[in-house]
Amino acid sequence: MAPTHVLRCCQRGLAWIPVIFIALVVCWSYYAYVVELCIFTIPSIGEQIVYLIFFHLSFVMFVWSYWKTIFTKPANPSKEFCLPKAEKERYEKEERPESQQEILWRAASSLPLYTRTGAGAIRYCDRCQVIKPDRCHHCSACDMCVLKMDHHCPWVNNCVGFSNYKFFILFLAYSLVYCLFIAATVLQYFIKFWTNELTDTPAKFHVLFLFFVAAMFCISILSLFSYHLWLVGKNRSTIEAFRAPVFRTGSDKNGFSLGFRKNIAQVFGDQKKYWLLPVFTRKDSREETKPKPLKPGRWSDVPHPTGQHRRGAGHSDTAVRAQ
């Protein structure tokens, strides 16, 4: 086995450590809440039943959305974004960047592309050998181009992007609900711990740590969740929040915003009854990259990187999309 292959396998194995850590904390929290708190600590049967019903509801939704975020494969660019075989060979043989761009400009002429690099060049991934669709980025951890890449999340050991962004948001929401519920219901027993009203058994230490861990996770998840809700409202990915996409009219952080309601629907789908369920509710990845109504100024007005003007400077939206 080649040393690089062994190294890659080790890296892949180590990447699961944060996920295993979270899984262990969740398993312990389940045991501590159900057994040590509800069965051994809470004296009232009625209180036990109510707590256990709500606990299991939030637990199932949390684990379901976490599972879906981890195991939903990132979406890759479709075949139409790959260079045709002959063009690819020409591109690889060509050494001058200007000529390579010329090949890309020709290949991209039939693709629905709105964004370019900062220098106005076609966004191309040398590693995957594809023209990058709008909002697509190459993830070095996954070693692939990911549609509407948001970020690579070590806590789910997966890329968060077009295929699982809704699941990721729901995972944050349900983990927040799970931690808040635990913290709120454990609070009175946490106070009893400090006033020495709990019987002296190991259960009281589980109660103590349950509150600490739930409160700690609550604080950290709340800030991340609020930030992502704000991004959803703006139709912006984390990458775009740091580096605005470049359109024909220049860079624009709000270039993909369609208005608050449509921005929400792009992530959660049109049917409100599925919004809270971690199931995929959108059909077309191109919808995701449809910018707001185009402003004046077209790519054809932008000088070609090789110094020439683009040919076929049409004025219809179709012509703009085709350039």
Kindly state the greatest CA–CA separation across the chain: 83
Could you tell me the two tokens for 97? 């960047």
CB of 244 to Zn ion, least distance (A): 21
* Least distance (Å) between residue 274 CB and Zn ion: 26
Q: Which is nearer to Zn ion, 185 or 289 (CB)?
A: 289
| Shortest Cβ 72–Zn ion spacing (Å) | 12
Smallest gap from residue 159 Cβ to Zn ion (A): 3
81 C-beta neighbours (distance < 10 Å), count: 22
Q: How far apart are CA 281 and CA 287, in angstroms?
A: 12
For residues 227 and 233, the answer to whether their CB atoms sit within 8 Å is: no
Among residues 108 and 198, whose Cβ is nearest to Zn ion? 108
Contacts of 15 (CB under 8 A, 6+ apart): 141, 154, 157
Given the complex with Zn ion, which of 152 and 236 has the nearer CB atom? 152
Is 153 an annotated catalytic residue?
A: yes
Catalytic residue among 136, 142, 153, 179: 153
- Start-to-end CA distance of the chain, whole Å, equals 46
Provide, rounded to whole angstroms, the least separation between the CB of residue 302 and Zn ion. Answer: 25
CB of 176 to Zn ion, least distance (A): 24
Contact 115, 290 (CB under 8 A): no
DSSP string, 67-107: HHHHHSPPP---GGGBPPHHHHHHHHH---HHHHHHHHHHH
Q: Give the 3-state secondary structure of residue 307.
A: coil
**294 token code pair:** 């185009």
At residue 121, φ and ψ (nearest 5 deg) are -90, 160
Q: Which residues bind Zn ion (CB under 5 A)?
A: 125, 127-128, 138-139, 141-142, 145, 152, 159
C-beta of 61 vs 131, nearer to Zn ion: 131
d(CA 37, CA 285): 46
Please give the full DSSP string across 105-168, using - where no structure is assigned: HHHHTTS----B-TTS---EETTTTEEPPTT-EEETTTTEEETT--EEETTTTEEESTTTHHHH
Q: Which of 17, 50 has the CB closer to Zn ion?
A: 17
Closest CB to Zn ion among residues 139, 277? 139
Supply the residues annotated as catalytic: 153
